[in-house]
C-alpha cells in the first residue's frame, strides 16, 4: 500500500514528489511509521529481551481506567548519562510507542498511551551505553456504564 | 493543530508540560466500515534556549491529543520550543517562556 | 451487614413518606455512606469514586497533574459565553452565583430551573438559535460557568410546598425501579456504591453534583448531568426521557440537593 502511494505520487508529479525532490520531505518522514519506525520497534523488542532489570522508576496503572488514555511515567532522573527512554506495549501491533533521545533534558518522561488489550508495558532506559528495562502489566477491561 | 506548552521552573528544573492537539490515528481504526487513514505525529523535538534537549520518534500508540512531560535544568524566563511533524508531513510548533 | 439493612430500610421508609426534608434525607445518606466506607470523610466525596479507589485515584491525579483533556474546551466555553452575549442575561451576569443558585424552584413558573435551562433561554434570546442540552457548546459554557464557582459549596434550596413536591418526585424517580433490568439509580449509586459493575467501580451519589458538567474519558468530551441521565436510562434499557423535561429537572433538583455542603470543583475528569 505504501509502495503504491509512493508510485502514485511520483507519477502524478504531486506535491509530495516535488517536496521530496526539493529535500523538504525525505521518504523516511513520509513513511516513518512503516519501514523506519517498525525497524526501530523491532530493535526495541530485541533490546528488551537482552536488557537487564532497571533500577529506575516506572509508573503505570495496574488496571487502566481507559485503554485509550493510559498515563505512564519513566523517572530515571537519578541515573547518569541517560541518552534514550523508550516505551513499548508488548501486545500492540507495533509495540514501540515512542523513543525519546535525551540530549540535555533529564531522564524523565511522562506521557499517555493507547492499549488495545491487557499487556505488559515496558520502559527501556539507555544510559552510559547500557540498556535496562522495567516491565509492568496493565490490565485493560471493558466497562459497564456510560451512555 | 494547536499546542499547549506550559514550562514551569522550580528549584533549578523546568517541568515542561505539553498537550498537542492531534488525532493520532493508527490507520487501523474503522469508522462506518471504512478505514480511517493513519494520521499521527512521527517526530518531535523539544529545545531549551535554542538547544535540542529531546529528539523523539513517536508512534501511533501514543494517545490522541498527546500529552508529554519532560524535565530540563533551567530557570524562569528560559525559552522552550516544541516542534513536531506528522506522517502526512504537516508540522506544528509552539514556543513559551518558562514561568 | 445488619446495620446496612437497617439503613437501607430507613431510606425506603423515607421514600414512602409524603414529606420532603432535604436536611434529614441528606443526613441519612451521609450516615449510610459513612457506615459503608468509614475511612472516607464527607468532604472527600467531592471527588466521588476517586475517594474510594486508590488505583483509579492515582490515574485521576496523573491526568489532572498533566494538562487536563478538558482544559481547552472549558476555555472555549468561557469565550463562547461572551461571544454569544450570554453575559448580558440577568440570570448569568454573575457566573459563580449562577452556578450555586441552580437548580432552584421558581415559584412564579412553578418549575425547577436548571443552569442549562437558563443557558438555553439566554442563548435563544441573544442569538435566535437553539442550544442542545447535553454536549458540545452547552457543556463547554456550563463547565466554564461552573469553574467560576470552584471552591464554593453546593447549596440547593428546597423551600415551600411546591418545591418540596418537585423534590419528592425527583427522589421517587431516583429510588424507583425502571427499565428492562428493573433497577433504580439507587441500586447502583447507593446500595452498591463502591462495588464493581463489570470493570467500573460504581460511584456513590454523594458528590455527583460537584463536578458537573463532567468530562468523561468514555465520551472523550464534556457532558451535562442530563447527558449522563440519558446514558444511564439507555444502559438500563429504560424508556428514554427528554433532557430538560420536568421529570429530568426534578431528578436533578433532588440529586444536586443531596450534595449540599460539598465543595464545587473544577476537576471534572471521570472515567
Can you give the pLDDT of all 99 residues of chain B as single tens digits?
589 999 999 999 999 999 999 999 998 888 898 999 999 999 999 999 999 999 999 999 999 999 999 999 999 999 999 999 999 999 999 999 999
Whether B70 sits inside 8 A of A106 (CB atoms) is yes
Determine the pLDDT at residue C116.
Answer: 97
Sheet strands (E) in C19-115: 104-106, 111-113
On whether the CB atoms of residues A70 and A64 are closer than 8 A, the answer is: yes
When mean pLDDT is compared across A7-21, A76-90, C43-57, C89-103, the lowest value belongs to A7-21
Contact C66 B64 (CB under 8 A): no
ipTM: 0.94
C200 touches chain B (CB under 8 A): no
Q: What is d(CA C52, CA C112) in angstroms, rounded to the nearest whole number?
A: 32
Closest of C139, C117, C118 to residue C228, by C-alpha? C139
Q: Determine the Cα angle at B85 with ends B79 and B90, to 5°.
A: 115
In total, the C-beta contacts within 8 angstroms joining chain B to chain C are: 20
CA pair distance C177, C192, nearest whole angstrom? 15
The whole-angstrom distance between B32's CA and the closest CA on chain A is 19
Asked whether residue C188 carries a pLDDT value surpassing 50, the answer given is yes
Between chains, do A114 and B59 touch, taking CB under 8 Å as contact?
no
C-alpha cell recorded at residue C18: 409524603
Note the Cα A18 to chain centre separation in Å. Answer: 30
Contact C7, C28 (CB under 8 A): yes
Taking only the tens place, the pLDDT of each residue in A96-119 is 999 999 999 999 999 999 998 999
DSSP state, residue A95: -
Query: Nearest by CB to B67, which of C67, C72, C220?
Result: C67
Query: What domain count does chain C have?
Result: 1
SS3 C67: coil
Q: Do C66 and B2 touch (CB under 8 A)?
A: no
Catalytic choice (C122, C185, C188, C232) = C232
Residue C251, phi-psi category: left (phi > 0), alpha (psi -120 to 50), beta (remainder): alpha
Q: What nine digits make up the cell of C143?
A: 463547565
* Cβ-based neighbours of A79, under 8 Å, separated by 6 or more: A55, A56, A107, A125, A127
**Binary contact (B53, A105; C-beta < 8 A):** yes
Residue C220: pLDDT band with limits 50, 70, 90: confident
The predicted model gives A9-32 an average pLDDT of 41
C67–B19 CB contact, under 8 Å: yes
Measured CA to CA, the distance from residue A125 to residue C93 in angstroms comes to 54
Residues 6+ apart with CB under 8 A from C82: none
Question: Domain locations in chain A?
Answer: 52-138
Q: What is the pLDDT of residue B48?
A: 97
Is residue C89 part of the annotated active site? The answer reads no
Asked if the model's pLDDT at residue C24 lies above 60, the reply is yes
Interface A:B, Cβ pairs < 8 A? 117
- Rounded to whole angstroms, the Cα distance separating C213 from C187 reads 23
Residue B29: per-residue pLDDT: 87
* pLDDT for residue A28: 36
Return the CATH number at C59. Answer: 1.10.760.10
C71 touching chain B per CB within 8 A: yes
Provide the pLDDT confidence category of residue A143 given band limits of 50, 70 and 90: low
Closest CA to C196 of C48, C26, C68, C53: C53
pLDDT computed for residue A116 by the predictor: 87
Higher pLDDT, C216 or C2: C216
Mean pLDDT, all residues of chain C: 91
Chains touching C (at least 3 CB pairs under 8 A) are A, B
Contact indicator for C136, C119 with CB cutoff of 8 Å: no
In chain B, residues with a C-beta closer than 8 Å to the C-beta of A35 are none
Smallest CA–CA distance from A143 into chain C, residue: C199
Q: What pLDDT is stored for residue B28 in this prediction?
A: 86
Which structural domain, as residue segments, surrounds residue C151?
1-271
CB A125 within 8 A of CB A74: yes
- Which pLDDT does position A3 carry in this prediction? 53
Classify domain B3-27+36-97 by CATH architecture.
Answer: Sandwich (2.60)
pLDDT above 90 (res A31): no
CATH-assigned architecture of domain A52-138: Sandwich (2.60)
Amino acid at each position: 500500500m505504501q509502495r503504491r502511494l509512493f508510485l502514485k505520487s511520483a507519477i502524478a508529479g504531486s506535491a509530495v514528489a516535488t517536496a521530496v525532490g526539493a529535500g523538504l520531505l525525505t521518504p523516511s518522514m513520509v513513511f516513518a511509521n512503516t519501514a523506519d519506525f517498525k525497524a526501530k520497534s523491532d530493535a526495541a523488542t530485541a533490546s528488551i529481551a537482552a536488557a537487564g532489570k532497571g533500577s529506575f522508576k516506572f509508573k503505570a496503572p495496574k488496571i487502566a481506567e481507559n485503554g485509550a488514555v493510559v498515563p505512564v511515567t519513566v523517572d530515571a532522573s537519578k541515573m547518569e548519562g541517560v541518552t534514550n527512554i523508550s516505551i513499548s506495549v508488548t501486545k500492540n501491533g507495533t509495540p514501540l510507542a515512542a523513543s525519546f533521545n535525551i540530549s540535555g533534558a533529564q531522564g524523565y518522561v511522562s506521557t499517555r498511551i493507547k492499549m488495545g488489550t491487557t499487556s505488559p508495558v515496558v520502559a527501556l532506559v539507555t544510559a552510559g551505553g547500557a540498556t535496562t528495562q522495567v516491565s509492568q502489566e496493565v490490565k485493560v477491561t471493558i466497562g459497564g456504564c456510560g451512555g | 493543530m494547536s499546542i499547549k506548552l506550559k514550562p514551569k521552573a522550580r528549584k533549578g528544573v523546568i517541568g515542561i508540560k505539553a498537550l498537542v492537539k492531534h488525532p493520532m490515528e493508527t490507520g487501523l481504526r474503522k469508522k462506518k466500515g471504512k478505514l480511517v487513514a493513519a494520521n499521527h505525529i512521527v517526530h518531535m523535538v523539544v529545545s531549551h534556549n535554542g538547544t535540542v534537549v529531546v529528539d523523539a520518534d513517536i508512534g501511533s500508540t501514543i494517545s490522541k491529543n498527546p500529552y508529554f512531560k519532560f524535565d530540563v535544568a533551567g530557570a524562569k524566563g528560559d525559552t522552550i520550543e516544541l516542534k513536531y511533524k506528522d506522517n502526512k508531513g504537516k508540522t506544528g510548533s509552539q514556543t513559551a517562556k518558562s514561568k | 451487614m445488619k446495620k446496612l439493612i437497617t439503613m437501607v430500610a430507613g431510606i425506603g421508609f423515607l421514600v414512602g413518606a409524603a414529606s420532603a426534608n432535604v436536611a434529614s434525607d441528606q443526613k441519612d445518606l451521609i450516615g449510610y455512606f459513612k457506615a459503608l466506607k468509614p475511612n472516607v470523610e464527607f468532604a472527600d466525596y467531592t471527588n466521588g469514586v476517586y475517594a474510594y479507589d486508590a488505583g483509579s485515584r492515582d490515574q485521576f491525579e496523573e491526568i489532572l497533574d498533566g494538562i487536563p483533556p478538558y482544559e481547552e474546551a472549558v476555555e472555549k466555553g468561557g469565550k463562547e459565553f461572551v461571544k454569544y452575549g450570554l453575559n448580558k442575561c440577568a440570570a448569568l451576569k454573575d457566573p459563580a452565583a449562577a452556578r450555586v443558585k441552580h437548580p432552584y424552584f421558581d415559584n412564579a413558573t412553578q418549575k425547577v430551573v436548571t443552569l442549562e435551562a437558563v443557558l438555553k433561554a439566554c442563548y435563544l434570546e441573544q442569538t435566535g438559535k437553539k442550544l442542545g442540552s447535553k454536549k458540545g457548546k452547552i457543556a463547554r459554557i456550563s463547565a466554564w460557568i461552573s469553574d467560576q464557582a470552584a471552591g464554593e459549596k453546593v447549596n440547593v434550596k428546597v423551600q415551600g410546598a411546591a418545591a418540596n413536591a418537585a423534590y419528592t418526585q425527583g427522589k421517587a424517580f431516583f429510588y424507583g425501579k425502571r427499565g428492562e433490568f428493573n433497577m433504580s439509580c439507587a441500586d447502583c449509586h447507593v446500595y452498591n456504591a463502591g462495588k464493581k459493575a463489570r470493570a467500573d467501580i460504581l460511584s456513590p451519589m454523594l458528590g455527583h453534583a460537584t463536578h458537573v458538567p463532567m468530562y468523561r474519558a468514555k465520551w472523550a468530551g464534556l457532558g451535562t448531568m442530563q447527558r449522563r441521565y440519558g446514558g444511564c436510562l439507555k444502559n438500563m434499557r429504560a424508556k428514554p426521557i427528554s433532557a430538560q423535561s420536568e421529570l429530568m429537572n426534578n431528578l436533578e433538583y433532588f440529586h444536586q440537593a443531596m450534595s449540599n455542603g460539598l465543595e464545587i470543583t473544577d476537576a471534572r475528569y471521570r472515567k
